Amino acid sequence: MFRFLTGGESHGPSLSAILEGLPANLPVDLEEVNFQLKRRQGGYGRGARQQIETDKAEILSGIRFGRTMGGPITLLVRNRDWENWTEKMSITPVENETAPITQPRPGHADFPGMLKYDSNDLRPILERSSARNTAALVASAAICRQLLKQIGIEIFSHVVMIGDVWAKFPTVVDYRELAKIAEESSVRCASPESEQEMIDKITYCMQEGTRDTLGGIFEVVTLGCPPGLGSFVHWDRKLDSRLAQALMSIQAIKGVEVGLGFGVAQLPGSKVHDELFFGAGEGFTRGTNNAGGIEGGMTNGEPVVVRAAMKPISTLPTPLATVDMKTRQPVKAHFERSDVCAVPAAAVIGEAMVALAFTQTVLEKFGGDSLEEFQRNYRSYMDVVRERGFTRNVS
């Protein structure tokens, strides 16, 4: 069984993760892990924290001579900013504790977190709920992506909307080309026309007289999925439910769609469902992919396409009205340095969460204590799938 845990606080000494259940003998490229961490820190509209941190992963266990050993893998990402917070975030008691922060930010974990944990200070809530903690998830997923690559599964992302600016794409989309263009964009947008509009929108919100934040929508596409990943048998084994949970776990994500998503509610069934065809030379094919590659909780061999809607960050440079939790008097919300727009970074984090969900699913399907056993199980399954006529989009 694959599982993972993360630990750490935004301004603590480090972030950590433990991954258990990956097969032995998987080659792990640490440079690829650090590359994914660097991608997470990019994007126009990020805040000052990204100028302080240069995230690098350290592997403390589970890997020898560049290959997994079958035991738990321990990752560490140090916080360079910790040196400025050794007193405020001291692990041991201090003589003069930092004054508590009692002005919760609307839209943040502050208010319900303080009530839940019976805290008179929102600092402990802020530290663990911060999106800084996604660095550990991205590092973990970077290792998982190297397992998925062994069976031809690739994951990309791009931004489709920031504020009210939508990206404009051709009707027929080449996802690999889309991902390549998005990777060169400061807002991860593959539409050059829309990219500049998005940048202008973010720049406007950076101005002294405006001082606001922006949300948006990103899309994550998974290619090379064989049909049959996931299950219709139990609610928690349906792949779309896992993907929805994974994406909704990202800070500030308020909605997830698979394929057409909410658009299916506006159309008759004849315009929604992807008709199935068979050709002697190409096997089974679909005319459309409105299902987003998932039917009945399982992959159907088409690209798996999911979108996530991110709300504007709740730490506003011009703070909103709130109530002081100690005095119960009206005040302005606490301000902690933050991003104006983190949608491009959230897209990278979205890739990570999709990779973690797929890793759980493929290991359930193909299992194996070693990479070689995992690959044999995959090949055996694919032999059966091919015999039954499915050859498209199969690596």
Q: Is 302 within a domain? A: yes
* pLDDT value at residue 337: 74
In a domain, 41, yes or no: no
Distance of alpha carbon 299 from alpha carbon 304, whole angstroms? 7
Residues 313 and 107: their CA atoms lie apart, in Å, by 8
Q: Is residue 290 part of a domain?
A: yes
Average pLDDT over residues 220-225: 97
Note whether residue 119 is domain-resident. Answer: yes
**Can you tell me the mean pLDDT for 284-309?**
96
In a domain, 74, yes or no: no
- The percent of residues in the chain predicted with pLDDT above 70, rounded, is 96
For residue 40, the model assigns a pLDDT of 95
Kindly tell me if the per-residue pLDDT of 53 is higher than 70.
no
Asked whether residue 35 is assigned to any structural domain, the reply reads no
Mutual angle of helices 134-149 and 30-40, in 10-degree steps? 130
Checking phi first, is residue 133 left (phi over 0); if not, alpha (psi -120 to 50) or beta?
Answer: alpha
Provide, rounded to the nearest whole percent, the portion of the chain with pLDDT above 90: 86
- What pLDDT is recorded for position 51? 59
- When pLDDT is cut at 50, 70 and 90, the band that residue 211 belongs to is confident
More confident residue, 77 or 208: 77
Tell me what pLDDT residue 395 has.
46
Tell me phi and psi for residue 321, to 5 degrees.
-70, 140
Residue type, 83: E
d(CA 231, CA 240): 10
- The domain in which residue 144 lies consists of 94-387
Tokens at residue 46, please?
Answer: 């990020």
Is residue 284 within 8 A of residue 390, CB to CB? The reply is yes
Instruction: Please state the rounded mean pLDDT for residues 200-225.
Output: 91
Q: What is the mean pLDDT of residues 361-386?
A: 96
Instruction: Report the candidate in 95, 75, 108, 67 with the shortest Cα–Cα distance to residue 7.
Output: 75
Q: Is-contact 342 235, C-beta < 8 A?
A: no
Residue 171 has pLDDT above 80, yes or no: no
> What would the mean pLDDT of 144-165 be, rounded to a whole number?
97
- Tell me, yes or no, whether 31 lies in a domain: no
Task: Kindly give the interhelix angle for 371-387 and 343-366, rounded to the nearest 10 degrees.
Answer: 80
Is 12 within the bounds of a domain?
no
In the predicted structure, residue 325 carries a pLDDT above the cut 90: yes
Task: Tell me what the mean pLDDT of segment 121-144 comes to.
Answer: 96
> In the structure encoding, which two tokens stand for residue 141, read together?
């997923």
pLDDT at 194 over 90: yes
pLDDT at position 271: 95
Taking the alpha carbons of 131, 32, 374, 66 in that order, is the dihedral positive or negative? negative
Task: Report residue 70 CA to chain centroid gap.
Answer: 25
Counting other chains too, the contacts that 203-206 makes at CB distance below 8 Å and 24 or more residues apart are: 205/340, 205/341, 206/45, 206/340
- 310: CATH: 3.60.150.10
Average pLDDT value for the chain: 93
Total domain count, the chain:
1
| 182 pLDDT higher than 60 | yes
Assigned token pair, 102: 């009692």
Tens-digit pLDDT profile for residues 223-282: 999 999 999 999 999 999 999 999 999 999 999 999 999 999 999 999 999 999 999 888
